[in-house]
Structure 1
Amino acid sequence: KSKSALEYHTSPVEALVCRDCRLVYAVQDGIPIMLIDEARPLNDAEFPPLAAPAV
């Protein structure tokens, strides 16, 4: 959706988080599922912001 940086999280589940789009992309067997239809809305309580942005 956007071309902003993604955050890689391993807890509570392995996922890539897009704060600009407010979407969470699942990672299955080490492969990110980057389909917008498969993404879910971001819950800030589940994925708090990282200390430093990912590059």
Structure 2
Amino acid sequence: MTKNVGGIDRILRILVGVALIAAAAMGSIGVWGYIGVVPLLTGLMGWCPPYALLGFNTCKR
């Protein structure tokens, strides 16, 4: 897997993922907030499957 998520994109994914999971854990947005695991993991791994399929890359080379 070649990294295709970088910089600000990666930071935003991590922040949004943590915020969604925290909101779901506190019960303010329901269990759908646990979908925040997806942006959190893609931000931590630096690789996004849809980006790979569509040919996007936000990493600096």
Q: TM-score, normalised by structure 2?
A: 0.23
More strand by share: 1
More helix by share: 2
Q: TM-score, normalised by structure 1?
A: 0.24
Larger of the two Rg values belongs to structure? 2
Bigger relative contact order (CA 8 A; separation at least 6): 2
